[in-house]
Amino acid sequence: MGLALAQAQAAGARGEVPVGAVLLAPDGTVLAQDGNRTEAACDASAHAELLVLRAAAARLGSPRLPGCTLVVTLEPCAMCAAAAAAFRVARLVFGAYDPKGGAIEHGARIFQTQGAIHHPEIIGGVRETEAAALLQDFFKRLR
């Protein structure tokens, strides 16, 4: 989570919503890490999770990431949760809960639906206070 938080800080410094993600191989090796790039890329899908999932898949030469762990600073939205399922990550670890836009413990609850194509292990609330503070500070500065 430390690497994901560093990526979130870097994203915030670039003017992006401060969310960071890291994709770990089954042995714990970092395959990819990045932060949100939606503004810079003019791409609403350039969430940190999607960026690292795509980069890791390209690096491994596979559309599936079995045994891998996705670590992200904020509870993933429906788009990112569905992508984690499609990439077949083994586990999803997140920091801050997102009652408004999250789709793991809130909203769509992607992995709890009957039609869910994959059910990764979910670990939420890891370094939650730090992750939430990054987001709160960012949005306070905007107002």
| Catalytic residue IDs | 49
Three-class DSSP category at 97: coil
Q: How far is CA 43 from CA 52, 79, 92, 139, in A?
A: 15, 13, 23, 20
| Cα(97)–Cα(62) distance, integer angstroms | 30
Contact by Cβ (8 Å): 49, 21: yes
- Give the residue among 94, 89, 93 at the shortest CA–CA distance from 118: 89
Q: Is 18 helix (H, G, I), strand (E, B) or coil?
A: coil
